[in-house]
Amino acid sequence: MKLSLAIVAFALAIPSATYAQDSTAVSKGEYPNTFSSGSANVSPFTNQSKRFNDWSISAGVGVPLLQSADLTSIKNGNGKNLFGYSAYVSIDKAITHAFGINLQYDRGETRQGWFNTKNAAPDASAVGARTQYDAISILGDINFSNLLRRVDNHSPYRWALHGYAGIGTIAYRAYQKDGSNKQRLMTEVKPFQLGSMFMQAGTGLKFKVNRRIDIEGRLMYVVTGDDEFDGGGDAYSAINKRSEQVSDNFFNATLGVSLKLGKHESHVMWHDPLQEIYYKLDVLANKNQDIEVCKKGDADNDGVCDDWDRQLDTPAGARVDGAGVALDTDLDGVIDLYDKCVTVPGPVENNGCPVATTGPVVETETKLEGIEFDLNSDRILPSNTPILNNAVNYINSSNGSYSVIGATDTRGTDAYNQKLSERRANNVKNYLIKNGVQTGKLQAIGKGEKDLKYPECEPATKCPEWKNRANRRVYFEAK
C-alpha cells in the first residue's frame, strides 16, 4: 500500500519541479535566435535583480484526530473524543507568486480508542492507545488566491487561501492499554525506510499581519499507509480486524505563524502582477502628458516631423511616405508631383513619361531603392510588391541584364549577414521570375553588411532605426 502511495506522490511532484524553472532568455551579446526570447535587451535573473522576498520560516501547533483507523479519536468511530497534540516547523521557498515548496518537520502524539491511556481503563473490554510520531516531508504550496484571482480585481488583499500536498517519511511508536491497565509498545517504525513513506494534503488560510509576519490556520489530512499506526498491533490482531481499511489516517488542525525573510518590502507570495499593472496604468493615466511632439518642427510642411523626416526639402504639395520622402511610384526619378505618367517610367526631360521608340528601352544603369526588410527576415513585405511589379515591367522592356543585390544592417556576425543578404536577393529574384522576367536577365548577389546605404551606422546603435531599416534592402544594378 505504501509503495503505491509513494509512486502516486512522486508522479504529482515531478511535474511541479520540472516546470518551476526560469525560462527567461539571457543575452550573451549575440544576435537573437529562435531559441531566445527574440529580444537582445534581456538580463540574467540574479539575487541583485530580485524585487521580492521568497524565503520564510513557519511554525505552529495543533490537534491531530485519528479518523480512519480501527481505533479512532472521534466519538462516532471506534472510540471517543480524544485530543492529542502536534507541532510543526518548516522552511518555505516561493518559486512564483502562486507556487512554492516547503520542507517541513512534524512532531506529535495522537490519542485514540475508548479512553486516554493516562487514565485507568473504565472496564475490562476497553482499549485505548496513543501514537508518538516524528515526520519529515516536502510539500508543494499553491496560492489559490493568486492563481484564481480575477483579472478585473483592482483591490489589494490580506487573506490568502493555500493548498498543500506532498510526501515524506514518518517514524512512530504506538502504545496500547487495555483492561489490565498495562501499557505496551505495540509497533515501532524507524524513519527513512520504504515502509515509513506517507502522504499529506490539505488547505490553509493565511492572514498578512505586516510585511514580516503571517498567521495561518491549516487543516491537513495525513495518509500513513499503515494499519498499525493506531496501536492496534499487527495486521491480523483482533483490533485490526474491526474495520476493513488498511491505512490509519488522521486530520491535523494547526495554527501557525510565518516569518518572512529578506531585505525587500514584500514577499512574492503576496504579490499580484495584475495589481501592479493596474497601478502603473493608473499612474500613467493621471500623469500630465508633457511629451513634446515635433520638437524640431516640420520645415517642409509635409506632415512628417523633422525628427524622423528623411527628406527635409520636400516640394510643397508632394505626397510623401511615412519617412517624409516624396513618392515616386514608377521609380523613374521624377516624383509623382511632377510626373505626367505616374505609373509608367520615363526620363526626366520628358516629365517622367516614356519616349516613343522603335525597340525596347535600353538603360545603362538603374537602381531600385526602398525594398526594405524587417530585422532578421528575408520575407518580401506586402508594401513592396507594387515596386517589384513596376520593376518587372521595366526589366522586360530593357535589353540589359541586372544584378539583384541584397544587403543587411550591421547587427549580427559577418557570416550570418552574408547568408541573410543572399536569401533576400534570391527571394526578390524568384519573385521577379515568377512574375514574368526571364531568368537569364537576373543574377542574385549578397553583400551582407559591406554595402550600407548609411555607412555611419556602424555599429547599428549609432543610428536611429529608420536608417538601420534602410540598410536592410534589395536594389538592382544594370550589368
CA 436 to chain CA mean position, Å = 48
What mean pLDDT value characterizes the chain?
82
Q: In this structure, which long-range contacts are made by residues 13-21, counting pairs with CB atoms below 8 Å and at least 24 apart in sequence?
A: 13/138, 13/140, 13/166, 13/167, 16/99, 16/101, 16/140, 20/95, 20/96, 20/99, 20/101
- In tens, the pLDDT along 267-279 reads 999 988 877 777 7
Average pLDDT over residues 180-191: 91
Average pLDDT over residues 165-194: 92
- In tens, the pLDDT along 53-110 reads 999 999 999 999 999 888 999 887 777 899 999 999 999 999 999 999 999 999 999 9
Instruction: Assess contact for 479 and 400: CB atoms under 8 A.
Output: yes
Flag whether pLDDT at 143 surpasses 80.
Answer: yes
CA 246 to chain CA mean position, Å = 43
**If pLDDT is split at 50, 70 and 90, which confidence band does 43 have?**
low
Question: Distance between CA atoms of 389 and 396, rounded to whole angstroms?
Answer: 11
Higher pLDDT, 70 or 172: 172
Burial grade of 70 (CB within 10 A; 0-12, 13-18, 19 or more): buried
Average pLDDT over residues 403-411: 88
* DSSP bridge partners of 474: 371, 406
Flag whether pLDDT at 18 surpasses 70.
Answer: no
DSSP 425: H
- What pLDDT shows up at residue 241? 74
Question: Distance between CA atoms of 304 and 322, rounded to whole angstroms?
Answer: 7
Average pLDDT over residues 299-328: 83
Flag whether pLDDT at 461 surpasses 80.
Answer: no
Average pLDDT over residues 467-472: 82
3-state SS class at 201: strand
3-state SS class at 38: coil
Dihedrals phi, psi of 416, to nearest 5 degrees: -65, -45
Flag whether pLDDT at 39 surpasses 80.
Answer: no
